[in-house]
Chains A and B, each alone.
Chain A
Amino acid sequence: MKSDYFVSVDYIAAALIFGIGVYYFAGSYEYEMGSVKHMGPGFLPRAYSVCAIILGVLIFFGALRQKAISRSSIDPRYLRSFIMVTLAIISFAIFIPRLGLVPASISAVVLASYGSESFKLSTAFGSAVMVSAVTWVVFSLLLGLPIPGLIGF
């Protein structure tokens, strides 16, 4: 597997886990600790966060031992699908309460399709129409969910 970065992903992984641990450790002070006998709401979150901090350190030391390029890194090839899938879901969340199921499905399918290199506008629209029709029939008509197909017309 080829690697574009010289830093092992485990350094980032260690930093992330360490950071999450610190965040929750600080957050746990908002809640009562209690005692071992009567644990308060803050007790276990603090215990878990200490574990996370320790594990972050362990992962860091594990990363030190690895040969610099032996592990692969974040792969930029997935960036396109990542962005488009994200946009597709956002568009769905925005459109469904305002315009209804059919427009939301169409926009989500077209946007998500653009995440693939084999994107063609005509096929994307074709499948968008198909998918929105099928979801409308299945979810609104057959399952009878209270989701309107089209709002405002």
Chain B
Amino acid sequence: MDIFANILIGLETAVSPVNLMYCFIGVFLGTFFGVLPGIGSLAAISMILPVTFYLEPTTALVMLGGVYYGAEYGGSTASILLNLPGTPSNAVTCIDGYPMAQKGKAGLALFMTTIASYIGGTLGIIALFVLSPIIVAWALVFGPAEYFAIMILGLVAAATVTQESPAKGLAMVCLGLLLGCTGMDLETGTPRFEFDYIELYEGFSFITIAMGLFGVSEIIFSVKTSVGKAFNQEISFRSMLPTREEWRRSINPMLRGAGVGGFFGALPGTGPSIATFVGYAIEKRVSDRPEEFGKGAIEGISSPESANNAAVQTAFIPTLTLGIPGSASMAVMMGALLIHGIQPGPQLMGDRPDIFWGVAMSFWIGNIFLLILNIPLIGLWVRVLKIPYHLLYPAVIVLICVGVYSFRGSGFDIAMVLMFGVLGFVLRSLRFEMAPLLIGFILGPMVEDNLRRAMLIFRGDFWAMVERPISGTLLLITAMLLAYTAYQIFFPKSKLTVEAPKNESN
């Protein structure tokens, strides 16, 4: 397929007035929640999710996508002005962004992060356009064995690669898979683990899990966030503009950051957060003034922000082309599509090119909206930062409750949100990560379906799956990952702790 034809198909869908409007609403709300410390991009997407049920699937994804990358854009604002990352992947931006603000260069830092985000996002979208058809062409020959193998790889990678404790990450995947078993068995129709609730015959509702785990439990932990820090720097448009020297110093870090981010975003198990750390580390290494890092080096914000937003865009590649979400945010996106009856996967691009390319194109339009929202309107977001958190979170609780209730007018669903909120609170207190759980839950039924079909085809011979080239390779990589993880568990290195963001909140 011709790439320009795809762009045209995409444009046609993306510039329809309805999609443009929801794209704008999405990025606006995303930036709003992203700016607020304590509400990450995931909680933001989960809260907006119920509203999108009333929209066309394309429009729903356009809006949710906008919320996601809007939150990642907005997250840097709090990092720079308050030294509190708005979302976990903006944590690195604090290192040099906050010192810049203290030196009176807050405007410049905000301007450069916006430009870096835009460049990273745009390059990520180009990668999405170029790589997706290649992956789809390759994936069309996939049978159940290959799907099973790639899902298992995705699950193991999500649980082990970036986790502090791989055993606990895997435990969360297991719990997600077990929760995914609830409901009617796909083949026999036997209701399983429904705990005698007729409401659970269709399984736990994805929306209650996402809102409970990411909305409610995150709020409980962030009630203590105080945003009341004094911030009284005037940000004029003049103060935002970089000098020629500052441009020159930023352009290469932005491009390098986009490369790093694009790579890590598309891989399963890694994502924007790790991309920002790697982007920062590379800049520090290649710089001829490494001593300036941590004291307000402009390279220290342009590279990670570009990496962050490139990763956000390329994360859609495996989600849309293979139906394998690499991160919790992507799992929520995929859940939204599934609720609309659309199965992301290699068929999506061929069957519904309007959805695929329209959504991809709308991301780019959304990035332009964000440029407008974040440069001329920065004063608005600075004011949003002054809303005290103790006034805000009760409203968010109500928003979650109404959202869930509006889905099908059921008090049972609110009870489920509460249950998953409590579960999330307990699990977070025990230092478990929520993302592997959600990915396990989303992929669980598909893993089961594909494994059963593969075993039927191969007459119960598991080795037949290992002997096929693609599934064999994927299973081998998975086995190597598990072996390496086991090695790490049994022979831990003397603690080499990297300063990593704690979890979805903070």
* Chain A interface residues toward B at CB < 8 A: 9-10, 12-13, 16-17, 20-21, 24, 27, 31-32, 35-42, 44-45, 48-49, 51-52, 55-56, 58-59, 61-62, 65, 71, 74-75, 77-78, 81-82, 85-86, 88-90, 92-94, 96-97, 101, 104-105, 108-110, 112-113, 115-116, 118-119, 123-124, 127-128, 131-132, 135, 139, 143, 145-147
Contact = CB atoms under 8 A, between A and B. Distances in A.
A48 B174 CA distance: 6
Nearest to A53: B174
A17 B389 CA distance: 34
B contact patch SS:
helix
B237 interface: no
Nearest to B219: A85
Counting chain B residues whose Cβ lies within 8 A of the other chain, the interface size class is 35 or more
A109 B190 CA distance: 41
Contacts of B402: 101, 105, 135, 139, 147
18 contacts: A16-B426, A36-B455, A36-B460, A39-B451, A44-B447, A51-B174, A55-B168, A58-B489, A85-B220, A89-B216, A89-B397, A92-B401, A93-B414, A93-B418, A112-B393, A112-B394, A115-B223, A147-B405
Interface in B168-194: 168, 170-171, 174-175, 177-178, 181, 185, 187-188, 190, 192-193
Given A59-B171, A65-B492, 4 more contacts: A40-B188, A42-B192, A108-B397, A128-B394
Contacts of A59: 165, 167-168, 171
Contacts of A89: 216, 397, 401, 414, 417-418, 421
Interface of B: 51, 54, 165, 167-168, 170-171, 174-175, 177-178, 181, 185, 187-188, 190, 192-193, 216, 219-221, 223-224, 388-391, 393-395, 397-399, 401-402, 405-406, 409, 411, 414-415, 417-418, 421-422, 425-426, 429-432, 447-448, 451-452, 455-456, 459-460, 462, 489, 492
Contacts of B460: 35-38
Contacts of A49: 178
Contacts of A55: 167-168, 170-171, 174
B168 A118 contact: no
A90 B489 contact: no
Given A48-B177, A59-B168, A82-B220, A12 B192 contact: no
Q: Closest 7 A-B residue pairs measured CB to CB?
A: A37-B460, A112-B394, A81-B223, A41-B185, A36-B460, A116-B390, A93-B414
Contacts, number: 195
Nearest to B391: A127
Given A44-B448, A89-B414, A131-B398, A71 B190 contact: no
Given A37-B460, A109-B398, A45 B190 contact: no
B196 to A, nearest CB: 12
B452 A62 contact: no
Given A9-B430, A24-B193, A45-B178, A104 B167 contact: no
Contacts of B221: 78, 81
B409 A147 contact: yes
B82 to A, nearest CB: 17
Contacts of B175: 17, 20, 52
